[in-house]
Amino acid sequence: MTRENQKFLTDFIIASQEQAHNLGKNESGLDILSDIADAQKHGISAREYFGLSAEELAWQMVRELPNANPLPLILGEALANFVIFLIAGALISAFGGNWPSF
């Protein structure tokens, strides 16, 4: 791969991962390597092939991605809250509510 196309791919990967993370998107559908390789075989740079900078292409592609599944995040937070309340309840039970008064 030419240096120009390597830089384009690197810039695209960085920009798309940042934008996907910021927008809560799943970036698994962002594979442009085969497109860049095909363009290069025909003597066309990635910039010419896509007609956009790496950052512009990343932004355009990330906007079209589906949202990441929020269920694991929600379940993780619910579990953490449950554990906190469970520990707090156990501590209160262990000390019988006899807290020192000041």
CB 59 within 8 A of CB 45: no
Return mean pLDDT, the chain: 78
Cα–Cα dist 52/15, whole Å: 13
Model pLDDT, residue 80: 81
* Highest mean pLDDT (candidates 13-17, 21-25, 42-46, 66-70): 42-46
What is the value of pTM for the model shown? 0.48
Strand-pairing partners, residue 25, are 67
**pLDDT attached to residue 93:** 73
- 54 within 8 A of 15, measured Cβ to Cβ: yes
Q: Using 50, 70 and 90 to split pLDDT, how confident is the model at 66?
A: low
